[in-house]
Amino acid sequence: MNKSIPFEEQETVVILQPACVSQTAEVYTCMPNMLKKIRKLAESRPEEVKIKQDKGDMLIADVDRAYIKISPKRQMSEESKKAASERLARLRGEVHDPC
């Protein structure tokens, strides 16, 4: 990377046109975690993620529009939280003997 971008200036912009116009979304990012994720996807799925410009600390890519998702946070009932907590406590209590 060329230089460190201050946190206040790090951003990701997604340009999404109607499906009848384009099946891809253009993604601009200078956020380190997104840079890494998009580069990795471009390597493993080159037909779905195409990097158009990569300058080290920023990139622009065309991404299959199916990758763009906005979803609410998961809501768990108190019963679900309690059950998950008990499962985790049970797993933590298990001792795995390698022999």
Q: Tens of pLDDT along the chain (99 residues)?
A: 446 788 888 899 999 999 899 999 999 999 999 999 999 999 999 999 999 999 999 999 999 999 999 999 989 999 999 999 999 988 888 765 555
The pLDDT of residue 8 is 83
What pTM was estimated for this model as a whole? Answer: 0.70
The pLDDT of residue 2 is 47
Strands in the chain per DSSP E: 12-16, 24-29, 49-54, 59-64
